[in-house]
Homo-oligomer: A and B are copies of this chain.
């Protein structure tokens, strides 16, 4: 089931970290947020509640797996989870590692930035990302 004109039916939405049968995980590449991932459901489903119970469980187990790997590798100040989809109404979950130094902290990433991105801190996370993403892929492959 693909929807014409849907950005997440027509493209991955970012570099692919994991490709599964029912969903993929991509890096969101949002400036200032070096560990921002999206779980994108493969089928064009609008609301989380459109999934049946088994698929909802599969989806949230994967979201929690990503969260756990992010926590273990990066020790973020907080993890933020959200499914919004007001603009691209194709089910996707944001999994965002938040840090005290990130642009919008402690506000949501969608609020106004309160400070400039911190290149040194971002570079540090960038350095940990290959191992982080390999661990996400390995955990989701189990």
Q: Determine if A48 is an interface residue (Cβ-Cβ < 8 Å).
A: yes
Check: A141 CB closer than 8 A to any chain B CB: no
**Cβ distance A97 to chain B, nearest Cβ, rounded Å:** 11
Contact B86 A67 (CB under 8 A): no
List chain B residues, Cβ under 8 A from A77: 86
Q: Give Cα distance in the complex from A39 to B16, angstroms.
A: 32
Chain B residues whose C-beta falls within 8 Å of the C-beta of A107 in the assembled complex: 86, 110
From A4-12, A25-33, A56-64, the one touching the partner chain is A56-64
Given contacts A47-B67, A64-B49, contact A89 B78 (CB under 8 A): yes
Q: Which residues of B contact A24 (CB under 8 A)?
A: none
In the complex, whether A98 has a CB less than 8 A from a CB of chain B is yes
Chain A residues within CB distance 8 Å of chain B? 46-49, 53, 56-57, 60-61, 64, 67-68, 71, 77-87, 89, 98, 105-108, 110-112
30 A–B contacts, CB within 8 A, in A order: A47-B67, A47-B78, A47-B79, A48-B67, A48-B79, A48-B81, A49-B64, A49-B68, A49-B71, A49-B79, A53-B61, A56-B60, A56-B64, A78-B85, A78-B86, A78-B89, A80-B82, A80-B85, A80-B86, A81-B82, A81-B84, A82-B82, A82-B83, A86-B106, A86-B107, A86-B108, A87-B106, A108-B108, A110-B111, A111-B111
